[in-house]
């Protein structure tokens, strides 16, 4: 199969802004789906509300666009109803770990068999650029013009607090690593979570002084480094995979 087989081209162009990270990540997921040859009739993609949530309408497979914060529990219900399905959640940080934070906590604790791809752009981009649980400390947003007063949510810490876990941090820039992580996450039997460091140029980047999406993409290259063999938790500026496959220790 070709990656194009997983896309509803009749709905193109997308509603995403020019240069948006979401479209880049969307393509990498379709490339991996074609590489591992997941049959479209055995695949379901679930998205919530937000710019990333629009993705559900562009996948040429069964997909569900659900209410805000409910992507994970709907995906869990689909998987329990038909365990043979490969269920992938593709949504944003505000939807998955903000509004849907409680569902995220307990689905990871229960080790539900699904892959969650979280596009983390650090902002509520669709609604104008409000501070999100993932907004970097000190960064000005629409609702924190003098700088975010809080530390961002530790997504890695939540996932890896469970005895059995699979967590990856990737970036929109590091494409080969992102593809590798998506492939491994899909193959994992249990709850796999990929935090993809992304960006929003229109409702966040321009407020910070970026001229275009390329500048924000290149900053990911500068800010994040690959750690291919992490011995413990990833540092804040590291990309890699943290996994533990034993229940009792």
Average pLDDT over residues 77-92: 97
In 110-233, which residue ranges form alpha helices assigned H by DSSP? 155-160, 175-187, 213-223
Secondary structure of residue 21 in the 3-state scheme: helix
Classify residue 206 by its DSSP letter.
G
Q: 3-class SS at 132? A: coil
Options 2.60.40.1890, 3.40.190.10, 3.90.25.10, 3.40.50.970; CATH of 3-244 = 3.40.50.970
pLDDT, mean of residues 45-61: 95
pTM: 0.96
Condensed to tens digits (0 to 9), the pLDDT of residues 106-153 reads: 999 999 999 999 999 999 998 899 999 999 999 999 999 999 999 999
Q: Which residues pair with 166 in a beta bridge?
A: 192, 243
The angle at the Cα of 55, spanning 91 to 185, to the nearest 5 degrees, equals 55
């Amino acid at each position: 199969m070709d990656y194009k087989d997983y896309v509803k081209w009749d709905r193109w162009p997308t509603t995403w802004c020019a240069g948006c990270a979401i479209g880049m990540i969307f393509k990498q997921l379709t490339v991996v789906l074609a590489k591992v040859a997941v049959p479209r009739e055995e695949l379901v993609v679930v998205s919530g509300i937000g710019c990333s949530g629009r993705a559900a309408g562009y996948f040429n497979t069964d997909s569900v666009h659900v209410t805000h914060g409910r992507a994970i529990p709907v995906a869990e219900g689909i998987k329990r109803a038909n365990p043979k399905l490969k269920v992938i959640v593709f949504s944003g940080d505000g939807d998955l770990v903000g509004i849907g934070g409680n569902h995220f906590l307990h689905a990871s604790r229960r080790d539900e068999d699904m892959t969650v791809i979280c596009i983390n752009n650090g902002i509520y981009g669709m609604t104008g650029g409000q501070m999100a649980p993932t907004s970097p400390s000190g960064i000005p947003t629409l609702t924190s013009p003098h700088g975010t007063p809080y530390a961002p949510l530790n997504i890695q810490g939540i996932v890896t607090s469970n005895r059995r876990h699979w967590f990856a941090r990737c970036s929109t820039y590091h494409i080969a690593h992102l593809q590798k992580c998506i492939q491994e996450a899909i193959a994992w039997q249990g709850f796999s979570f990929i935090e993809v460091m992304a960006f929003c140029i229109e409702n966040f980047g321009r407020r910070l002084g970026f001229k275009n999406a390329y500048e924000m993409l290149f900053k990911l290259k500068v800010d994040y480094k690959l750690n291919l063999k992490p011995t413990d938790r990833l540092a804040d500026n590291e990309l890699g995979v943290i996994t533990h496959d034993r229940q009792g220790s």
